[in-house]
Chain A
C-alpha cells in the first residue's frame, strides 16, 4: 500500500479521536477530500520541480504513534535554548509533554491546539483565524485533515511578551518510521510583541516525516520574530508550511536556519493586508552529503507603502542540493512598494547544486523591487591571505563562510539564539574557533 492509500484508509481511525460533529471537523474533512484528490506533490508540479519526495514517501510511516514515551530533560536539554527563561510547548511523537512544557494563561495564551480546537473560550479566535490563511494545496490540506495538536499562541493587544516561546516537536524513534502533522496557530493582536523559536528534533536515526503548518496573524502595529532551527538527523525530513498574514504597520520576521535533515522544504508565505508593513525573510543553509534544502518563499504585496526584505545565504558541500524559489507579487494597488530579495550561494565543489529562481510579478508602476542572486566559490586569494596569517585552511574556510552568512545573523534579536546558531555553524563546519565578530 502506498503512503497516500495508507493515510486515506487511516482517516476513520483518526476520526475516532476527535469530535466529528464540529465546525472544525467540517474543515478537516474538506481538506481530507482535497488531499485525496491531489495526493502528494510530484516533480511534474512547477512548485516541486527541483524537490522530489519520492524517496521519503516509500517509508512505512506510523501515522498514529501510540506508545507514549517519557524522556528526561537531561536527554533533550541541549535542544532547548536553555540559558534564558522561556515558555515551552513541547510534544513527544506528536503528543503533548506537560513535563517538558511551560505554558501559561496569564493574560497571554501559550498552550495547546487540542484545547483551542475543543474548548469554548477559544472559539471566537479559532473561528476567525484557524485555516484562514493556510493555502489549500496538497500538503497543507493533508495537515489540515489531521489537525488536532500543536502550539496555540494568542497575545492580546498592547502586550509585550517578555519571554520567548519555544515550540519543540521531539520524535523518539520508538516507531521505525514516524509521520507527524503538527498544527500551530499564532495570533498576535494590536501593538503586541512576541518572539518564537521552533524546532523539530528526532532523537534516533529512525525515519521521520514532519509536515507542519503554522499560521501567523499579526494585527496592526504588532511585531513577531520567528526563528526556525532545522538541524535534525539525516533520516528526518521536514515540510514546513508557514503562512503569515499582516495588518498595517506590523513587522514580522522569519529566520530559517537549515543545517540538518534529509529533505527540508520550507514554504514560507507572507500576505500583506494593510499599509506600512514590513516583512522580513532570512535564512542560512549549510548542508553536505546528500542533504536537500528547498526554500520556497512568497511575498504578496497587496496594499501600498509596504516593504519586504529577503536575504538567503546557502553553502553547499559534497552532493548536497539547494533550491531557492523566491516569488514576489506586487498588486496594482500596491504602489510605493519596496521589495528586496537577495540570494547568495557558495558551492564548495563541483558536485553540489543550487537551483535559484527569483520570480517577480509586478503590476504596480511606482515600486522599488530588486533581486540579486549569486553563485560562487570561496575566494582562493582570501584563503591564501588568511593561511599566510597562520589560520589553517579549514578554519580559514569556516571563517569566510561564517562571514558570508553573517548578514543574516545580524538581525537575530535574541542574543542566546544568535550564539546558539553561531555554535551550530562552527559545529557544522567542524571547527573550533570563535566567530564573535
Chain B
C-alpha cells in the first residue's frame, strides 16, 4: 500500500524528517507515536501533499506508484485521506455540499459521472448513522462553531463517505471525550477492511484501546526509532518517551 524510504524533509530550511522509513500493507493498522515536535504531523502532511514542505530526499509510493510529485487533490483521488488535527472552518459551505463536491470531484477525476442524488442521500444517511451524527448538523457550515468532538466526528464521517485506501488519522483523539472517542473509533473499525490501511498518529495510548494497531512505531527526531506491536504503546504509556531517547543515545 504505502512505502516510504529514507524520507527527508524540511520547512523554512529547518530539517524535520531525517531519513524516515515506513511500509504499510493493505489490511494493516499502524500507530505512530512520539513526543511533541518529533515530526508526526509533518509526516502526515507530507504524505497528503502539503506544498509548504520541501521533500529533499526519499520516495513515497502508493500502491507501487511514486506520488511525491502529485498535487494534494491527485493524492486524494488515489485514495489518500488525512483526518486533520485541526479541521478548517469554512463558513458558507455546508457539510453536505462540501462532501457532495468532494465525492463528485473525485469521481470526475476517475472519469465517472456525478453520483446520483438518490445514492448520495442514502450514503449520507448510512454514514451519518454510523457516526451518530445529527442530520441537522449536515446543513451547518463546515466546522464553523463545531466543538472539538464534532469536528473530529465530521472528519471521520467524510472518511466514511470517501472510502479511502489509506487513511491517516492525525491526533483524531485530541479534544474527544470518552463517548465521542468510542463513536469515532467504532466508525474507523467498521470501515477497516483487508483492502485499506490506517495510520493512527497519537500522543496517547487511549485511542489504541479501541483501534488496535498491528504495529506501533515511535517517531523521534525525524526518524522511526522503534517498532513493536500493540504492547509497545502500553509500555510508552507507562514509562513515557525518555527511556527510548536514552536507548537511542546509548
CB-CB under 8 A from A390, the residues of chain B are 73, 76-77, 102-103, 105-106, 109, 162
Report the nearest A residue to B97, measured CB to CB.
A437
B194 to chain A, nearest CB (A): 24
A: contact size bracket = 20 to 34
- Contact check, B105 vs A391: say whether CB atoms are below 8 A apart: yes
The reply on B48 being an interface residue by CB < 8 A is yes
Report the nearest A residue to B51, measured CB to CB.
A384
Q: Which residues 402-419 of A sit at the B interface, judged by CB distance below 8 A?
A: 402-404, 406-407
CB-CB under 8 A from A406, the residues of chain B are 92
- Contact check, A391 vs B101: say whether CB atoms are below 8 A apart: yes
Interface 9-mer from B8-16, B81-89, B175-183, B210-218: B81-89
B123 to chain A, nearest CB (A): 15
Q: How far is the CA of A386 from the CA of B82 in the complex (A)?
A: 11
Given the known interface contacts A395-B105, A399-B101, A434-B101, the answer about A387 and B93 at a Cβ–Cβ threshold of 8 Å is no
Q: Which listed residue, A379, A384, A385, A403, touches B92 by the CB 8 Å rule?
A: A403
CB-CB under 8 A from B94, the residues of chain A are 437
- Contact check, A382 vs B102: say whether CB atoms are below 8 A apart: no
Given the known interface contacts A384-B50, A385-B84, A391-B101, the answer about A437 and B76 at a Cβ–Cβ threshold of 8 Å is no
- Contact check, B88 vs A379: say whether CB atoms are below 8 A apart: yes
- Contact check, B93 vs A437: say whether CB atoms are below 8 A apart: yes
Q: How far is the CA of A399 from the CA of B81 in the complex (A)?
A: 20
The reply on B187 being an interface residue by CB < 8 A is no
The reply on B72 being an interface residue by CB < 8 A is yes
Q: How far is the CA of A403 from the CA of B143 in the complex (A)?
A: 14
The reply on A132 being an interface residue by CB < 8 A is no
Most buried by B among A387, A400, A407: A387
Given the known interface contacts A390-B105, A437-B97, the answer about A403 and B91 at a Cβ–Cβ threshold of 8 Å is yes
The reply on A374 being an interface residue by CB < 8 A is no
Q: How far is the CA of A121 from the CA of B213 in the complex (A)?
A: 87
Given the known interface contacts A384-B50, A399-B101, A437-B94, the answer about A391 and B73 at a Cβ–Cβ threshold of 8 Å is yes
Q: How far is the CA of A395 from the CA of B105 in the complex (A)?
A: 9
A10 to chain B, nearest CB (A): 49
Q: How far is the CA of A116 from the CA of B209 in the complex (A)?
A: 82
The reply on A21 being an interface residue by CB < 8 A is no
- Contact check, A433 vs B76: say whether CB atoms are below 8 A apart: no
- Contact check, B50 vs A392: say whether CB atoms are below 8 A apart: no
Most buried by B among A380, A387, A390: A390
Given the known interface contacts A384-B72, A388-B82, the answer about A433 and B101 at a Cβ–Cβ threshold of 8 Å is yes
What count of chain B residues pass the 8 Å CB interface test?
34
The reply on A381 being an interface residue by CB < 8 A is yes
CB-CB under 8 A from B97, the residues of chain A are 434, 436-437
Q: Which residues 33-57 of A sit at the B interface, judged by CB distance below 8 A?
A: none
Q: How far is the CA of A407 from the CA of B91 in the complex (A)?
A: 10
Q: Which listed residue, A389, A403, A434, touches B102 by the CB 8 Å rule?
A: A389
Q: Which residues 164-185 of B sit at the A interface, judged by CB distance below 8 A?
A: none
B188 to chain A, nearest CB (A): 17
The reply on B115 being an interface residue by CB < 8 A is no
CB-CB under 8 A from A389, the residues of chain B are 76, 98-99, 102, 158, 162
The reply on A332 being an interface residue by CB < 8 A is no
Most buried by A among B52, B73, B76, B84: B73
Q: Which listed residue, A382, A388, A403, touches B48 by the CB 8 Å rule?
A: A388
The reply on A357 being an interface residue by CB < 8 A is no
A88 to chain B, nearest CB (A): 33
- Contact check, B105 vs A392: say whether CB atoms are below 8 A apart: yes
- Contact check, A403 vs B93: say whether CB atoms are below 8 A apart: yes
Q: Which residues 210-244 of B sit at the A interface, judged by CB distance below 8 A?
A: none
- Contact check, B88 vs A381: say whether CB atoms are below 8 A apart: yes
CB-CB under 8 A from B80, the residues of chain A are 388
Q: Which residues 109-153 of B sit at the A interface, judged by CB distance below 8 A?
A: 109
Q: Which residues 359-405 of A sit at the B interface, judged by CB distance below 8 A?
A: 379-382, 384-393, 395-396, 399-400, 402-404
Report the nearest B residue to A385, measured CB to CB.
B88
CB-CB under 8 A from B92, the residues of chain A are 402-404, 406-407, 437
CB-CB under 8 A from A393, the residues of chain B are 71, 73
Q: How far is the CA of A387 from the CA of B106 in the complex (A)?
A: 10
Q: How far is the CA of A393 from the CA of B105 in the complex (A)?
A: 11
Report the nearest A residue to B76, measured CB to CB.
A390
Report the nearest A residue to B48, measured CB to CB.
A388
Q: How far is the CA of A387 from the CA of B93 in the complex (A)?
A: 15
A111 to chain B, nearest CB (A): 41
- Contact check, B90 vs A403: say whether CB atoms are below 8 A apart: yes
B107 to chain A, nearest CB (A): 9
Report the nearest B residue to A391, measured CB to CB.
B105
Q: How far is the CA of A12 from the CA of B198 in the complex (A)?
A: 83
CB-CB under 8 A from B90, the residues of chain A are 382, 385-386, 399-400, 403
CB-CB under 8 A from A392, the residues of chain B are 71, 73, 105, 109
B residues whose Cβ falls under 8 Å from a Cβ of A: 48-52, 71-73, 75-77, 80-82, 84, 87-88, 90-94, 97-103, 105-106, 109, 158, 162
Cross-chain pairs A/B with CB under 8 angstroms, 15 sampled: A384-B50, A384-B51, A387-B76, A388-B73, A389-B99, A390-B77, A390-B106, A391-B105, A392-B73, A395-B105, A396-B73, A399-B101, A403-B90, A437-B92, A437-B93
> Closest 4 A-B residue pairs measured CB to CB?
A403-B92, A387-B72, A390-B106, A390-B76
A residues whose Cβ falls under 8 Å from a Cβ of B: 379-382, 384-393, 395-396, 399-400, 402-404, 406-407, 433-434, 436-437
